[in-house]
Structure 1
Amino acid sequence: MSRLHLPAVLLGFQRSKSNQYPNNALLNIDGVKDRDAAKYYLGKTVLFAYRVKKTKDATTGETKSLRIIRGKITRAHGNAGVVRARFVHNLPPHAFGSVCRVMLYPQRS
């Protein structure tokens, strides 16, 4: 069985001394220790999944308790293997320190 994703820890937002930029999240991918290893993951999809109180969908009638925020790895951040990711919706602050999934597709040629 092949692996389709790797775990990554959400470190926080990109920031300076007095500002933070919530459209750029910083991720620490397992096993990535330097900038050259991080280049492989550029363009990969990132999924942050979280649970909510069960809600009923008005159109289909099914109950859902899991929501997903989708993102994309854009570039490396520093020399220690941390990468920047841009999500469709900015991540909530309770996501910091939690685990998300880095999908190992699409492959770049």
Structure 2
Amino acid sequence: MPAPDRETAGEAATKSGLAPVPGDIGTMRDKRMIAGGRRDLRHVPFQTARAAACDNPVSKPLTKRLKGRGKPHKLIITAVARSLVTIANAVLKTTAPRPTNPVD
């Protein structure tokens, strides 16, 4: 994903296809679903989210909280995947670029 230093968390989620897209038409209100983005890129956070939901100390409380509210499994995995993309975007923003050492 290009230019992480200029990208917000919402933009990163949209590019990865993990942002909710409204399906509202006129007065009709519909459920929000994820759509768009890069399909190949979306598979990576989903696979890592499945592992992170059980083992990651940052994602585990989110998983428990959503399960306690009775949310469906796919919604939980999508929320964990989006939080992982947000965390990765924040890490890319805050870390300084590594200096390149010329080979002697």
| TM-score using structure 1 length | 0.23
Which structure ranks higher in relative contact order (CA pairs < 8 Å, sequence separation ≥ 6)?
1
Whose Rg is larger? 2
| TM-score using structure 2 length | 0.24
